[in-house]
Structure 1
Amino acid sequence: MNAPRGTLTPALSEQIAKHKKEIIGFLQRANARLEISGTPIPHIDDHQPSPLSFAQERLWLLEQLEPGRSVYNLTRAVRITGPLDIGALESSLSKLIRRHESLRTKFVAVEGRPLQCATVHESLRLNPTDLSALLEEERKEQTTRLLLKEARQPFDLSGDRLFRLRLLKEHDDVHVLIFCMHHMITDAWSMGIFTHELWSLYKDFVNGSAPTLPELTVRYREYAVWQRRQLQGDVLEAHLAYWKQQLADAPYLDLSMDRPRPATQGFRGGRQPLELPPALTAALNDLSKREGVTLFMTLLAAFQLLLYRHTGQEDIIVAAPVANREQRGIEGVIGFFVNTIALRVNLSGQPSFKELLRRAREVCLDGYAHQAAPFEKVVEALNPRRELNRHPIFQTMLVLQNTPRRPANPPGIRLESIEIDNQTAQFDLSLYLREREGKLLGFIEYSVDLFDAATIARMAGHYHALLENAVADPDRSIATMPMLSAPERRQLLVEWNNTAAEYPRDTCIHELFEAQVERTPEAIALELENERLTYRDLNGRGNRLAYELKELGVGPGKLVGVMVERSFEMVTSLLAILKTGGAYVPLDPGYPTERLKFMIADAEIAILLTQRKFAHRIAARGPTLFVDEPRRRESKRAGNPRNRVAADSPAYVIYTSGSTGTPKGVVALHRGAVNRFTWMWKTYPFKPDEKNCLKTSLSFVDSVWEIFGALLRGVPTVIVPELTAKDPERLVGYLAQHRVTRLVVVPSLLREILAQCHDPRKHLSDSGKPGPAASW
């Protein structure tokens, strides 16, 4: 490497030494790319049908599977103000079509194998659609309608041409030119070539001068043949080895969606505009330079940070297009050259944004070094699980449109690009950005089958906020980087936190029960198979057991273990404990013995209420009472115990599952439980003749509502025996027999019940996990 004397300054030498490892890696990657890009592209016969490129073949196969879709249409429109020379425009377009073989390529299937061949171009005639006689508002609507019609109209791949043109006349000196191409023959870079060369030719024709465009030395069909010959054997395998390692066990992105994912991908899309002001754009460029990354890498790191914060996933894959024009002679050729690379960044360990930039840079550089591997071959090598409703490797894409933008200055007319939203989406989310006039502009394209516009608008605001905070404090951990906008913070902290409501703040659970006993003493409180228990009898049983517990030292603040199957005795035990001022701790008989021992020790349980059949399982540190023994109910005292229990006293302690570590006991107060009951009663009020169902294990928080929600409102509660609860068919029959109208279930059991049940209950509460929308 030669340079003039003095070029290697001390400062530059210091930078080279500092980044020695990265420079060596870059040179190694560059050499790997040169092995392919340095091979010349051979010429082929003009009339010989040619194989498709790998990317074309993928789109062709997709078209065979789902014909008639417009999701791969690329449409541009330009408003032309001034005296348009339509003849010169027609000549320019004809010259352009003859110059670029892709614009006159058709596709045929020979014995099931797709091939492409060039057709001869005849002279082109534009027949403007005249809208000038319409009123202004009607003319605008008609222009928009025709733009969308062109953008959404599918191409027939077996037709003669995958390229459409339409000229609209809005006024004598105002026209709109629409050109639409199928992705099989073009890409974003090519659309830029088309625009630049069209107006360059137009200028030449208007001025009467000879066309000045340089001669093309390569045709796209020749590139396709070269690609297939070059990318095979050891050359291809070397690149695929990287991608197989990099994308092994690629995770799906688990974004929260507004609707369940449909069975098949619909490709219906929407757009959310996004604009980053000049000051922020300049700050992003400055940060990128300081950290030795490109602007794209910074935008990628922020986008993956956004997805991390919305999903909690630390392994994020975002796709990105690469121009894939490293071979000599193809920079100015119109065709489908673009390739896709999947950029997988690890966000674990709560790194700073600076560290995330470093990780993103490393992943990007490695990806660029192996971009020659067609993405179609990468997917084939990975052979991931295929689903009809999502992409197998990634669900999001980032596109920074930084293709060279050469000014078009045709004589006598002014050009204005028209944004077209063809209302399609290839992926769940795609972020499109471009830098114009010192600021970043773009949009988030999203699947309307999955997301509401308001959801994506919030996400766009979060991305903006993350970028602002990243440039302000790049050393901050990505886990704590603020992303809420000021209106959202106010909504969360003020508006949504305005939850003040009237409820009996100073009343305990058992006091509400005792008040209901006074109102309906002879009403049925509990049912179990063929037995029934009135409110008066249930209260009496609870009082007698409460006095016995008090004699054993149970009082305010004391925790009592309860290992009792669903039964009258279980409900009696809970009421008795609450009446003493104590709190109950559920001990599920199905838990392993070691876990039960841990809970008893951790909660410092002094007294245990259980059934005789569980006597061998565990031993409390103090007395054990067997609630299924008749003698325990014998007492002369049956009135409500007269001891004051504060509403801010513990009512129960339920332990977490321990799936993320050691189980933890969560203490719930009387006041909190009563607050929730009051909200539920108001939101889902009971009606006359309703019946509640108790089938949830006491160890799950849903059991609290199942037991007390109905009991405190005078509504009978039907207790489901243990064996019946485990058999969906028997459960459905039991519910029907007892005319149950209220039921709390998890989604898996809900599906089983609905499959068996032809007479749905009035109220089904789905709990624990998101439920299937189809079930409702």
Structure 2
Amino acid sequence: MTDTTTQVEQQQANRTQLIARLRKTDAPADGVISKRSGDQPAPLSYSQERLWIMSQLEPDNPIYNVAGAVQFDGLLNTQALQHSLDEVVRRHEILRSRFTSEGQQVEPGGGLPLTRLNLAGFNQDSAMAQFQHCADAFIRRPFLLAEQPPLRALLAVLGERRHILLLTLHHIVSDRWSVGVLMQEVAALYGAYSQGKPSALPELPIQYGDYCVWQRGQQEKWAKHLDYWRQKLTGASPLLALPTDRPRPPTPSYRGDMHYFELSAELSRALKQLGKQYKVTLFMVMAAAFNALLYRYTGSKDICIGYPVAGRSQSQTAALIGYFVNTLVLRCQVEAELPFSELLLQLRGQALQDQDHQGLSFGQLLEALNPVRNTSHAPLFQVMLAVQNVPMADFRMQDVSAVPLTMNNRVAQFDLSLFVDERDGKLLGSFEYSTDLFDAGTIARMAGHLQILLAGAVGNPELLVSQLPLLPEAETRQLLDDWSGVGRAARALASTAHFTEDALLIQQAPKARAARPTDGLLIHRLFEQQAQLTPDKTALVFAGQRISYGELNSRAALWAERLLDLGIGPECRVGVCAERSVELIVGLLAVLKAGAAYVPLDPSYPEDRLDFMLSDAGIELLLTQSALVDKFKHRAIEMLCLDNDSAKGQAKRTLSRSLSPDNTAYIIYTSGSTGQPKGVAVSHGNLLHSTLARTNYYREPLGCFLLLSSFAFDSSVAGIFWTLSQGGCLCLPQQEDLTDPAVLAELIKQHRVTHLLALPSFYTAIINDGNLPKLNTLQEVIVAGEACSGDIAAEHHRKLPEVRFYNEYGPTEGTVWSSVYRSTTDDTGVTLPIGRAIDKVRTYILDRQRQPVPIGVSGELCIGGAGLAQGYLNQSALTAEKFMPNPFAANGERLYKTGDLARFRADGEIEFLGRIDNQVKIRGYRIELGEIEERLHQHPAIKDAVVLVTEEVSGNKRLVAYLVGRQSAVMPEASVLQAYLKQTLPDYMVPSSYVALDALPLMPNGKRDRLALLNIKQPAAQARAFKPASNWIEADLADIWREVLGLEAIGVDADFFEQGGHSLAAIQVKSRIQCVFNMDVPAKMLFESPTIELQAAEIARLQIQQHDDRSLDELIKELEQLSDEEVSHFLVGK
């Protein structure tokens, strides 16, 4: 760790140099700004030019309207106020200017109309409510910059002694400093006019237009600034992936809201003192804290935020109203192990260097860097920080007092902006946020987290970024106790009282269980009890066979006796390899009755995989079927055939009861990252807990369960032992019927199935319209094994509204299931939540430092409490890595790190976000592949989809979608699918290639085999061939593009911005389109349709739209009279 004291001393040694640098902004610039001559329009400043372009793109959007309001208490002289406003407009030319592509034209002074709003007849509360309603509309009304003044004024009369003055300006003529100047001048003028005195304000020596002329003459100095910014921002991530409440829309609405908060006087003083201690400004302190907060929220180590600088480097500009403010980009490298003090010093250095290069406007920077444009977010940064130092107006006069009001215009320029002001010795904060992305509660929590982090930083600046406190006590308690499942432990114990005292003992903490072996209740004993209670009741149906509980128990007992005779007992491992059959169920029960652990081996597995599992598990005996014996003849292993009827009659002895809940019950093999499967060992106690928890949660009596899962996977455990311990009937489809929804529906009808568990993607096939009449016996449907989309839940509720629908989550390492969510018709999310922890299970969502993340922030889902597997067979290092001590429990409990990304919603439900290793980055964007897959699933022609990242020889990464079409649908072309996805996803999430398949390759557990997909030959990303114009509209557009972009030739499918286009060039194209085609196209169209081909189609559509019905009919009649040759000539040759 760097010694911070030494760093401070080094910085102090350079104190003189630092002071000179800080004062540099007050030094006179090269030359003095001179007053321009003539009446020609002044050019736009570079910052104005960018805003003017934005106003052309979004003419109806109030995003750049700036408001200021003052409440007057006392006898207000409205005539003096009107005179004051008129004088301000006279003094500042920019307030009476019109703005066009030619520049800003000053209009003769004619005063400022003052709109009156009389609310004197309302009581105080109603009057304020009415004012707020009217003010919202007043502020949000767009400015027509080419036709109207850029300033509006409204005076609300709330009573004889109470008024509110509301001023709204377009940002093109104002910034926050300018609002302060305006209010100061109004205050000074009012003070004079209300007493019958003339104005004491000196005439302005220069105007904003003079500044614009001066600025345009400084171009030769910008090269060094551009080099600095280009180097600084190279390789920066284009998007900060904030955790949002809703997916990012392809085009933002710019609707927003504000959240206000206040730092205590004590904390405010401490922050200023911290700044003095480290010789940094308040802005630098807040920037360090904000970056630390953003790191903790996103995990991003490379963070770019925007921040404004006054842009008034010449003293002549201090008294001017105008758009001087410039935006700089602060790029920060944040590490978890970085002390806050070092982060503070890093940001000081960055900010001081930025100040040296603030002469380049943000608009110029964008034009020069020309970053890849994406309509879903702002370029370069999406988060803003402004520590404001705005001059305040003093309205203290004899008969009137004035208080500034905070106005919320309910827009958001960026995803998130933090504003900090100082008033009366306290720091006041406010978050402006996009309501497209965030809920109010999310931002309120963020404000609380920031305040706690600030308090931690001033308390101990040497704390690492990862150690800075973040969560209030109440939220910590909510995350670690209430929502983790800990608080339900006692209730869970009480709810199991009907399973006998021994059963409760089995569910105690590991240390308590290990204290003494018990002859208490285990899962096979629950089955035995049921067989004693209902020996004649059907336990199992398969291929026309019906097996009663009594018969099933007897057969299993006979086989168990035979296993015991062979020396099989606790901790012995018995392989079971059989096709779906009655014998298979008998074999599993027999192994458990003998006290051994069963290892299921799917006969469809490749020989190498089976050999590895037999060897790795150390299987001492294999139970199989006669038809499968040849699979294992090459191995020296003892085999018994379950379909051999030699085991008949009744067991001759009582089976041993010396079995501990900690003994292994089964070993399930799951896919391993090394290419070899890994065995997960699960104890008898965990198996019992999982089953009892299921019985406690699902209250509907289990009549008949349809078992679809392979016996080699733990989802089969749920169906087999839940059903047989509750007296239900286990319906076992034959192997060849498992993928036939029609046959399965018939089984549901025939056996009156009440419960089923399926993969979500397969469940949709079962509930097709043709099957619905056969599904009326269903009572509870469970989906698990993969993320379940909201669309699947909605389809279920629409088709089977009386059937309860559940989404389960749980890794094999957590014994089948760890959380569950009951879906309702209110579920509207893209993906269904995975709910809350089941009985006696604990769920935590942690960051890389194993600390709980805030509500709504993503982290790794970790599982503790009951149900954790014993570990991985023969892999002690992997077991130690994945099963760690639980830092939130004191009894030696463990936590399993699932590798799954999740977050807590505000209501306490867990939202599954995908695998941590399934998150990818392409061109700097962090992408969740599951979100793209879900959008593809929603296309009516697509049945299934997987999206993967492939890397070309050049090192470029691209997205490839693998698709399976619906039976009667035609697979759309790639261009159609891209257009479909762009309706809801940003461009960087749209795959470039699409591979149509008859079916997706599956792993043995039914999940998609992504590795196999990568081996499928993909369409190569080919260089784009030149595509010439195919009609006269495209040809004319190509001429316009060539002229604006200075190109010799351009294909109709080339992207405007990839060819060097920028915002100003787009406006020039718009102007030429208006001349050539005699029509006004929306400027936004040039960004949303960035190729000649797309723009030509849009122009053709608009041309047809502009015809009335009569002229269109005449055109059609004229075309009908043309020959084919004439039509072709008309379309191609104009």
TM-score of the superposition, structure 1-length normalised? 0.80
How far did residue 167 of structure 1 move? Answer: 0.7
CA contact (8 A) 1:596 1:618 kept: no
State the 1:416 CA deviation: 0.7
Partner SS, residue 231 of structure 2 = helix
Q: CA deviation at 1:294?
A: 2.0
Q: Percent identity?
A: 35
- Give 1:238's match in structure 2, choosing from 219, 227, 246: 227
Mapped partners of 2:591, 2:28: distance in 1: 78
> Which of 71, 74, 84 is the equivalent residue of 2:76?
84
Counterpart of 1:242 in structure 2: which amino acid? Q
Cα distance in 1 for partners of 2:462, 2:198 equals: 58
Tell me, what secondary structure is at the counterpart of 1:694?
coil
Report the more deviating stretch, 729-738 or 236-245: 729-738
Asked if the contact 2:119/2:159 (under 8 Å) is kept, the reply is yes
- After TM superposition, list the pairs within 5 Å mapping 1:700-719 onto structure 2: 704-705=717-718, 708-709=721-722, 712-713=725-726, 714=728, 716=730
**Structure 1 segment 94-105 matched on structure 2, within 5 A:** 94-105=86-97
**Offset of residue 143 of structure 1:** 2.5
Q: What secondary structure sits across from 1:321 in the alignment?
A: strand
Find the counterpart in structure 2 of residue 282 from structure 1: 269
Rounded Cα–Cα distance in structure 2 between residues aligned with 1:114 and 1:463: 46
Q: Deviations over 1:503-557 (max 9, x none)?
A: 2533433334444555666767677898887766765665566556556655445
Contact 2:702 2:723 (C-alpha < 8 Å) held by counterparts: no
Matching of residues 110-509 of structure 1 within 5 Å: 113=101, 115-126=103-114, 128-227=116-215, 230-231=218-219, 234-235=223-224, 237-245=226-234, 248-255=236-243, 257-327=244-314, 329-380=316-367, 384=371, 386-405=373-392, 407-492=394-479, 495-496=482-483, 497-499=486-488, 500=490, 501=492, 502-503=495-496, 504=499, 505=504, 506=506, 507-509=521-523
The corresponding residue for 1:4 is none
Instruction: Point out which structure has higher relative CO (alpha carbons under 8 A, 6+ apart).
Output: 1
Q: What is the distance in 1 between the residues matched to 2:32 and 2:676?
A: 64
Greater mean deviation of Cα atoms: 186-195 or 477-486: 477-486
SS of aligned partner of 1:421: coil
Within 1, Cα distance between the matches of 2:572 and 2:21?
Answer: 70
370-379 or 436-445, which deviates more = 370-379
1:226-255 deviations in Å (ceiling 9; x for gaps): 54554587345314413432x533443241
TM-score, normalised with respect to structure 2: 0.57
Q: Distance in 2 between matches of 1:28 and 1:593?
A: 74
- Deviating more after overlay: 472-481 vs 551-560: 551-560
Change in Cα spacing, 1:451 to 1:60, as seen in structure 2 (3 Å) is same
CA RMSD of aligned residues (A): 4.9
Structure 1 Cα separation of the partners of residues 34 and 704 of structure 2: 82
User: Do 1:582 and 1:650's aligned partners in 2 also have CA atoms closer than 8 Å?
Assistant: yes
3-state SS, counterpart of residue 169 of structure 2: strand
Separation in 1, partners of 2:69, 2:633 = 78
Say if 2:788 is the partner of 1:744. no
Q: Deviations over 1:71-125 (max 9, x none)?
A: 32221211112222222222221121122233222223xxxx4743222220335
In structure 2, relative to structure 1, the CA distance for the partners of 1:750 and 1:239 (3 Å cut) is: same
Shift of 1:165: 0.3
Q: Which aligned pairs between 1:750-769 and structure 2 lie closer than 5 A? A: 763=805, 765=807, 769=912
Q: Is the 8 A contact 1:695 1:720 kept in 2?
A: no
Q: Which residue of structure 2 aligns with residue 10 of structure 1?
A: none
Q: Mean Cα displacement is larger for which, 55-64 or 517-526?
A: 517-526
Closer, same or farther in 2 for the Cα pair 1:679/1:187, shift >3 Å? farther
1:487 Cα deviation after fit: 2.7
Q: CA deviation at 1:164?
A: 1.1
Give the AA of the match of 1:168. A
- Give the letter for the 1:241 counterpart: R
> How far apart, in 2, do the equivalents of 1:27 and 1:663 lie?
66
Query: 1:450-493 CA deviation, whole Å, 9 max, x = no partner?
Result: 33333333222222211112222222222233322233344445
Which amino acid in 2 is paired with 1:98? R
Task: Find the residue that maps to 1:467 and give its secondary structure.
Answer: helix
- Counterpart CA distance in 2 for 1:524 and 1:385 is 66
- Local SS of the residue matching 1:285: helix
Amino acid aligned to 2:411: T
Amino acid at match of 1:643: R
Q: Secondary structure of 1:371's match?
A: coil
Provide the C-alpha distance between the structure 2 equivalents of 1:589 and 1:341, rounded to a whole number of angstroms.
Answer: 64
**CA distance in 2: counterparts of 1:225 and 1:667, whole angstroms:** 77
Counterpart in the other structure of 1:3: none
Decide which moves more: 530-539 or 46-55.
530-539
1:271 and 1:421 in contact (8 A); partners too: yes
Distance 1:493 1:762, change over 3 A: closer
Equivalent residue of 1:426, what SS?
A: coil
- The secondary structure found in structure 2 opposite 1:415 is strand
Q: Are residues 163 and 748 of structure 1, via their aligned partners in 2, closer, same or farther at CA, if it must alter by over 3 Å? A: same
Within a 5 Å distance, the mapping from 1:609-624 to structure 2 comes to: 623=637
* Distance in 2 separating the partners of 1:551 and 1:36: 101
Distance 1:422 1:209 in 2: 36
* CA contact 1:580–1:643 (8 Å) conserved in 2: no
Partner residue in 2 for 1:7: none
The 1:564/1:379 distance shift into structure 2, 3 A limit, reads farther
Summarize the Cα distance change of 1:591–1:369 in structure 2 as closer, same or farther, 3 Å threshold: farther
Cα offset for 1:579? 3.7
Displacement of 1:408 in angstroms is 4.4
Tell whether the 8 Å contact from 2:113 to 2:153 is kept in structure 1 after alignment.
no
- Does the C-alpha gap of structure 1 residues 324 and 756 become closer, same or farther in structure 2, counting only changes over 3 Å? same
- Measured in 2, the distance between the counterparts of 1:376 and 1:524 equals 77
* Residues 1:312 and 1:643: Cα distance change in structure 2 (over 3 Å): farther
For 1:541-556, what aligned pairs fall within 5 Å after superposition?
A: 543=557, 546=560, 550=564, 555-556=569-570
CA spacing shift, 1:487–1:132, aligned 2, 3 Å: same
* Structure 2 alignment gaps of length 5 or more: 1-5, 507-520, 741-757, 808-831, 835-899, 901-911, 914-929, 939-1134
Say if 1:488 and 1:115 are closer, same or farther in 2 by CA, change over 3 A: same
Report what 1:511 is aligned to: 525
Q: Which residue of 2 aligns with 1:75?
A: 67
| Secondary structure at the counterpart of residue 128 of structure 1 | strand
| Letter of the structure 2 residue corresponding to residue 362 of structure 1 | G
SS in 1 for 2:76: coil
* CA gap 1:634/1:115 in 2 versus in 1, 3 angstroms: farther
> Offset at 1:280?
1.1
Shift in Å, 1:177: 0.5
Cα distance in 2 for partners of 1:454, 1:568 equals 55
Give 3-state SS (helix, strand or coil) of 2:414's partner. coil
Alpha-carbon separation, structure 2, partners of 1:337 and 1:268 = 25
Cα pair distance change 1:280/1:691, threshold 3 Å: same
- How far apart, CA to CA, are the structure 2 residues paired with 1:375 and 1:431? 19
CA distance in 1, matches of 2:223, 2:11: 35
Does the aligned pair in 2 maintain the 1:693–1:743 contact within 8 Å? no
Task: Name the SS of the counterpart of 2:237 in structure 1.
Answer: coil
| Letter paired with 2:168 | C
